[in-house]
Chains A and B, each alone.
Chain A
C-alpha cells in the first residue's frame, strides 16, 4: 500500500516539514492540515523537504498555492528543497520555479531565511 507521511523539525525560527511517499488528491489533505496547523501557531517560515517524496500530482502543488499568499502576507515563505528530477519536472511544467524558492538542500533554505 502506497502511503504519505509528514514529519517536522524546528530549526529555531524556521520549521522544516519532511514529506514522504505519494502526494495526490487522496493524501493532499494531510499536508494541508499540517500547514494549517503551522499557520495557526503563527509559524510562517517553512521549509518543505521533498527528499523522500516519490510522486506528486497537481493536488499536491495546489496545497502550496493555497497557503502561500497568507504566509507571505505574514512576512513568511514556503521554500521547497531536495526534489528529485521527476518531482521537479511537475513543478517546472507548471511554472512554479518562477514563484517559489526551489533549492538544492534544506540547510541552504534555512540559512536564506536567517540572512
Chain B
C-alpha cells in the first residue's frame, strides 16, 4: 500500500449494533497500512469508545442520527475523526488522568475518554454547542525513533 495521503469517509447510523461494523472497518484499515496487531487493537478500542459515547451521550440513543467517521492516513500517522451533531459535551469536565480516584468512587461510565487517551498518541476534543462535537484520535507509525511501518502490500 502506498503511503500517499488517503481519506475514507463514512456516515453510520448511531446504534450500538453498528459498533461491530465500525471496529471491523477501523481495524482492517489500520492493519492494511501496517500497524502492529497490538496497535490495531488499541486503535479499534479507542474508536469504539468514541463512537459508543456519541450513541449513548451525544444522541441519547436516538437511532436516526448519523455518526461521521473519517479515517485519514499519511506517511506518519493514522487520524480518525468521529463527529456528531448532538447535544455537545463540556470537555473541561473530562475525568483527570488519575483514574485511581475515579475508580475508588466506583463511578460508572466516563471510562471511555480515559481509555482513548491511554490508547492513542494524541486525542483532541472540540465541541461547538448545538452544531458539532469532534473527537480526533491519532496514532503515529514512528515509535521511539524507529519506523514501524511495514513494506508496501
- Could you list which residues of chain A lie within 8 angstroms of chain B, going by C-beta atoms? 1-2, 22, 24-26, 55, 57-59, 61-62, 65-66, 68-69, 86, 90, 93-96, 98-99
Contact = CB atoms under 8 A, between A and B. Distances in A.
B49 A57 contact: yes
Q: Sorted from nearest, which 6 A-B pairs have the closest CB atoms?
A: A26-B16, A58-B111, A25-B52, A58-B112, A25-B16, A2-B20
Report whether over half of chain A's contact residues are helix, strand or loop; otherwise say mixed.
helix
Contacts of A62: 108-109, 111
Interface of B: 16-17, 19-20, 23, 41, 45, 48-49, 52, 55-56, 99-100, 103-104, 106-109, 111-112, 114-115, 118-119
A26 B100 CA distance: 26
Contacts of B109: 62
A93 B118 contact: yes
A2 B109 CA distance: 24
B111 A94 contact: yes
Contact of B108 (A26, A65, A90, A95): A65
Nearest to B56: A25
A115 to B, nearest CB: 25
